[in-house]
Amino acid sequence: MSKHNQPSDSSLAAEETQLARVFEQLQIDEENINDTVPSTNSSSLPRIDGGWGAWSYLATATALETLVWGFASSYGVYLDHYSTLYPHSTTLLPVVGTVAMGCMYLLMSPLSLYLTKYPTQRRITMWLGLIIMCSSFIGAAFAKSAAGLVVTQGILYGIGGTLLYCPTTNYMFEWWSNRRGLASGIMLSGTGAGGLVMPLISNALLQRYGKRTTLLSIGISFTILIAILIPFIRPRLPIPSNSNTHRPKVNWNFMSRSTFWLLWLGVLFQGLAAFMPVTYLPSYATALSLSPTIGTLTIALMNLARVPGQVVIGYLADKMSPRKLILLMALASGISVFAGWGAAKNVGGLVGFSLAFGAFAGSYTALFSRFIAILNRDDPHLPAILYSLFFLARGIGSIASGPLSSALMSHTSLSHAKGGYGVGEFGVLIIWTGVGMVMSGVGAGYKNYKID
């Protein structure tokens, strides 16, 4: 990396000093509100940015991300199987996957705010989430209608997944500071790994054993594995026993800053477009008269590219200027769509596009840790809330992309265009996806803090 892409030593020192103050303030707050617990100096706390505690937390959080989000990302396999079981509910079945993902994105914000005010409830929340998730598998296994699947594999799974996943993000900001971008990238890479592995496992089980045995076996396996993981997802800082009666106050002044809204809108624009290829690449492959296996392969490769992509982008988020990285991601993602998907009319083209789009657009969430550093300087309770608000923007994009994509696919005005733009009704959809990727760069317009 060139020297010009790295912050100056003075900028890094200032940022590290600010982050240190955050953790120091949190410790002071905890000591002030809990007179019954002896004060804890920083030397007695576990090491930050490394050591057994930080790395064991990160490994556990990544494993949890792989399970929770990996299963949700593999719904396409179940949709194909369910279509043969419930042939009269083809319009309702796609809602199952949308509801599950939507719940996890949208419920993050209120739950994160609740757990910030009541930190002692985080562990209980995770165990409750595990119970609800286990119930969702059992309910879906015995569901006799598409509506039953919406309630169980959709709503219940989404609620359980949120309760399990949200506390892990709260602890991320305690264990990792100067290397938080890298840590977040590693954790988020679990989604790509799960999205690659879980469809293969699910498809093999469905083909051999059917719906009920598949869901019960995965449900039992998830329950055992997650029950083993939960004890390792623990805080670095001590939680006062009376913190529920002395709730921390959240400073909401960031809501009035243009910086927040520019970054938030960038996430929203990216979310409104990022889910289009995942949904429609199999159909696009069919429109090209390619084997159905090619459509499945493109999704698998896209998830595969996200694994190293999240890690690399997370690492760069700790090193590069935020503005430059935001613009780089926006332009690279947009080019992958316009020049990649727009020109893909064979297997090689689809494979190339899947890898490029997965590596750039699929790794966009690794930027969230740096967005938080831009917005937050001295409030130790704010990072988890900011993180969930960016997830909210992505969730809105996820849910809106369903009806939006249907409207875009109704246009055939580009049916005579060259390349992928002229394949079926995909032309307008491809253009929308590319524009959304480019528009995600609007976040580079922030100017409240000069940290680059």
DSSP 247: P
At 283, which amino acid appears? S
Residue 262 dihedral angles phi and psi, to the nearest 5°: -65, -45
pLDDT of residue 8: 47
pLDDT of residue 61: 93
pLDDT of residue 29: 44
d(CA 189, CA 327): 21
Question: Model's pTM, two decimal places?
Answer: 0.77
Per the CB < 8 A criterion, the answer to whether 156 and 136 are in contact is yes
CA-CA distances (angstroms) from residue 309 to 177, 191, 218, 299, 356?
21, 12, 28, 15, 10
pLDDT of residue 440: 93
pLDDT of residue 210: 92
pLDDT by residue, tens only, the chain of 452 residues: 444 444 444 444 444 445 444 444 444 444 443 433 344 455 578 888 888 889 999 999 999 999 999 898 888 788 878 888 888 887 788 788 878 888 898 898 889 888 888 888 899 999 999 999 999 999 999 999 999 999 999 999 999 999 999 888 878 888 888 888 888 889 988 888 998 888 889 888 998 999 999 999 999 999 999 999 999 998 888 876 655 555 667 778 888 888 899 999 999 999 899 888 887 888 788 888 888 778 778 888 888 999 999 999 988 988 888 888 999 999 999 999 999 999 898 999 999 999 999 999 988 988 988 888 888 766 777 888 888 899 899 888 877 877 788 788 777 667 677 777 888 788 888 999 999 999 999 988 876 444 44
d(CA 208, CA 212): 11
pLDDT of residue 196: 86
pLDDT of residue 124: 94
Nearest to 243 by CA among 9, 31, 388, 17: 31
Domains and CATH numbers, the chain: 53-238 (1.20.1250.20), 253-452 (1.20.1250.20)
Sign of CA dihedral 274, 279, 285, 289: negative
Nearest to 296 by CA among 311, 309, 278, 273: 278
